[in-house]
Structure 1
Amino acid sequence: MKSAEKISATQLSFLLFSFIAPTVILILPSLMVNISKQDAWITIFPAVLIGAINIWVMIILSKRYPGQTIIQYSSQILGKWLGKCLGLYIVYYWINFDFIILNQHIQFINTVLLHKSPSIVVSLSLALLCGIAVYMGIESIARCNEFLALVMFVLLIPLLMLMLAEFDPERLRPVLSEGMLPILQGTIYPVAYLSQFIILGWLLPYLNQPKKAFKASFIGLFANAGLLAITVLLLIIIFGPLTEKLTFPLLSVIQYIGFQGSFERLEALAVAIWVMGCFVKVALTFFIICLSICQLFNIKNYRDLVMPITILSVLGSVSVFANYSTDLSYYLKYTYPSYAIFTQLIIPIFLLIIDSIKSLWKKSAL
């Protein structure tokens, strides 16, 4: 696949950061603390290792099949029909992923900002902007995100610094009080989110300097892992065991700082960070879905699918759960981690193993 659209290595790093960071820092800490308690920050280290393996697998596959997405080279590795079946499953996964992200957006905005706004209006307002961005192309999304990622980073710095004024390091003790088992169990959550680097399977064909793929991807990994580590540490030393009971712990601590300090309504910064990150996340998800369907069914232009996918996403986001808060919390805690790890990590590793076996088989047959 040769495309006129190209993104730089810097833009790739920014996209990886924006795709993962907002949902990670706002939602993930409470899930980690629920299992690993005050040792939740330790779970990030094995998760980074898994994330690095995920990146390595995706880049190796991309090098073996240059210019192709994971949808395209899956058919070459598994054969036409098995590859198509896997492609259909991956499309289903991303559509479901899209519904969940937009549903999270609805809940966050209704909880923090617009309490009485209809869910479909909240979802539609974001989805339309994302649809326009996708129609403009991946290069436009990447350029827009260069600005948004910097703004998110600038907004995060003062928030994290203000949090330092309220911390109590004693809440980090005792370390490893229950051994390694809770830490290993809690690792499933950061692994599920840091394995979202599977999006490299759709972004690497557009990278203008493929040799910089490793560097750009690892910058994205360490930026997300570092931000998550700092956020979890600060939340534990401020709220302690209370962290696991909060739906949006980072938002709660920002509201606490705003109430106690000289600044008021600092949660507006959290809303800005969420909306900007969610815009990039949903736009990239739309792009992946449209591109994947086109490659599965040999449709020439993925832009033809942008409007139908946008409408489907809005309808799905407001109907995916009967009880928004309870069902979403259960899904994120019990269903999504195993579902994500299987799709985002196990499947690429399986493809690499099959491809390596086929290559060795061909060499031994010569």
Structure 2
Amino acid sequence: MERGRITWPQLSMLLYLMVGATSVLALPTISAQFAKHDMWLSPIVGSVTGFFTLAVVLKLHSYYPELTLVQQAELLLGRWLGGAANVVVLLFIWHGTGLITREYGEFIVGSVLIRTPQPVVVFCFIFICAVAIRGGIEVIGRFSMLIAPVFLGFIVVIPLMLIPNLDVMQTFPVLEHGWGPVWKGSILPLTWFMEFALAGLILPFVKGSRSKWKWGMSAVALMLFTMVVTNLTCLWFFGTLSSMFTFPIFAASRYISLGDFFEHMEAIIMVLWVLSGFVQVITWYYILVIGTAQWLKLEDYRPIVFPIGLLMVIMTFWITDNIQDMIDLFMTTEPLFSAMVQVVYPVLLLGLAWLRQKGKSKDKGRSGGNGPETKHGAAAAGAKGR
């Protein structure tokens, strides 16, 4: 079905952008609403689910290195039960692609193309993604390897260029109201870090396995670093007023001015976010296409790329009416839905895989032990006959 292969560094950068490209735009707003001065602590708490879920899918991959999460489910749960579970997973991914694409559309239309109808932006974007997906996983892997370092570089450069306007004292007092506000502010990071579980649908297309833990966990660590730096930048620049902005980090970048020479950097940052958002959407899109093709037992995924793209456009505008409703969705039903599909479900599959492997090892032990016993019994019978 997919003959292309990517390397582990490419997968690491792909996973990094799959989660972080648009999440850093809205994260400071929601974290500041609950955690206030402790908003920088929220991603640290939230990263726990990222490390955990990725560890689960990597362990599953070690049991069945040639199978994706969809194929593992049918093997471990059976054809019918596994197929039903895969329907839920694919609906969740479809739902997630709609949310991410809508967030991307809101950012583009709200920040730059103010007079352009959002459906036009979304439709053109999905069409470009569909064309790229037909090129295979190698296209996505190489492009992410090109964009991710630049994206990370700008995340570091933005606070450096804003140093004259940053107030580090906004960090204090730390934990003024205890851990309660931090936990509330970490709900969204917890949800987004769970998305690393979707790596289970890409892992079979990665070459080699020696450094999979190092490169896999480095993606989570980079995402944690990015979120902390983004939240600290917004906190030191806007203070608790970060919650007043829809996209605080982009708003902060508009204030960059060094020696009347480095100005209007938001144009460059906008281009970078468009490219990184492209990697994020195309990764989710590809995962949805591959999962659907495997569920339908298709020999090639390319014929369903454009039909699924149309379904994504429909979901983008059906799922929510505006950006505020989207944020409410992130803070209410989305965390529970994500936890069931991206944490509980992979853990269940891992438990079944472990029991299956344990049963096989016991059967091998019994069959290996019966040989010597039979031989010993035959020898004893021969001795008795003599």
Q: Which TM class, normalised by the smaller chain length?
A: over 0.9
Query: CA, structure 1 residues 54+79, in 2 after alignment: closer, same or farther (shift >3 Å)?
Result: same
Q: Show the counterpart of 1:45.
A: 44
* TM-score, normalising length: structure 2: 0.89
State the alpha-carbon separation in 2 of the partners of residues 132 and 53 from structure 1: 34
Q: Show the counterpart of 2:339.
A: 341
1:119–1:318 Cα contact (<8 Å) kept: no
- Indicate whether 1:204 and 2:203 are aligned: yes
1:106–1:119 Cα contact (<8 Å) kept: yes
1:90–1:343 Cα contact (<8 Å) kept: yes
Cα offset, 1:317, TM superposition: 1.7
Q: Show the counterpart of 2:275.
A: 276
Query: CA, structure 1 residues 347+165, in 2 after alignment: closer, same or farther (shift >3 Å)?
Result: farther
Aligned-partner residue type, residue 94 of structure 2: I
Q: How big is each residue's C-alpha offset from its partner over 1:48-91, in whole Å with a ceiling of 9 and x where there is no partner?
A: 33211111100000111111000000111122211101100111
Query: CA, structure 1 residues 361+195, in 2 after alignment: closer, same or farther (shift >3 Å)?
Result: same
Cα offset, 1:261, TM superposition: 6.4
Alignment of 1:39-188 (within 5 A): 39-188=38-187
Q: Show the counterpart of 2:312.
A: 313
Q: How big is each residue's C-alpha offset from its partner over 1:165-187, in whole Å with a ceiling of 9 and x where there is no partner?
A: 21112211111111122222322
Q: How big is each residue's C-alpha offset from its partner over 1:7-52, in whole Å with a ceiling of 9 and x where there is no partner?
A: 0111111101211222221111211222222112222333233211
Higher gyration radius (CA): 2
Alignment of 1:217-366 (within 5 A): 217-257=216-256, 263-321=262-320, 323-360=321-358
- Indicate whether 1:15 and 2:14 are aligned: yes
* SS of the residue 1:158 aligns to: helix
Query: CA, structure 1 residues 202+230, in 2 after alignment: closer, same or farther (shift >3 Å)?
Result: same
Aligned-partner residue type, residue 326 of structure 1: Q
Query: CA, structure 1 residues 259+126, in 2 after alignment: closer, same or farther (shift >3 Å)?
Result: farther
Judge which range, 69-78 or 247-256, deviates more: 247-256
State the alpha-carbon separation in 2 of the partners of residues 230 and 20 from structure 1: 15
1:164–1:234 Cα contact (<8 Å) kept: no
Structure 2 portions without partners, runs of 5+: 367-386
State the alpha-carbon separation in 2 of the partners of residues 43 and 319 from structure 1: 30
State the alpha-carbon separation in 2 of the partners of residues 222 and 320 from structure 1: 31
Aligned-partner residue type, residue 55 of structure 1: L
* SS of the residue 1:22 aligns to: helix
Aligned-partner residue type, residue 287 of structure 1: Y
Cα offset, 1:363, TM superposition: 5.2
2:161–2:258 Cα contact (<8 Å) kept: no
Aligned-partner residue type, residue 209 of structure 1: G
State the alpha-carbon separation in 2 of the partners of residues 337 and 165 from structure 1: 38
Structure 1 vs Structure 2 CA RMSD: 2.0
Cα offset, 1:320, TM superposition: 2.7
* SS of the residue 1:211 aligns to: coil
* TM-score, normalising length: structure 1: 0.93
* SS of the residue 2:202 aligns to: helix
State the alpha-carbon separation in 2 of the partners of residues 175 and 315 from structure 1: 44
Query: CA, structure 1 residues 76+131, in 2 after alignment: closer, same or farther (shift >3 Å)?
Result: same
State the alpha-carbon separation in 2 of the partners of residues 22 and 39 from structure 1: 23
Q: Percent identity?
A: 25
Cα offset, 1:347, TM superposition: 1.5
Cα offset, 1:263, TM superposition: 3.9
* SS of the residue 2:256 aligns to: helix
State the alpha-carbon separation in 2 of the partners of residues 184 and 153 from structure 1: 26
Cα offset, 1:362, TM superposition: 5.4
State the alpha-carbon separation in 2 of the partners of residues 312 and 114 from structure 1: 24
Q: How big is each residue's C-alpha offset from its partner over 1:266-293, in whole Å with a ceiling of 9 and x where there is no partner?
A: 2223322321121111111121111111
Structure 1 portions without partners, runs of 5+: none
State the alpha-carbon separation in 2 of the partners of residues 349 and 35 from structure 1: 30
Cα offset, 1:260, TM superposition: 11
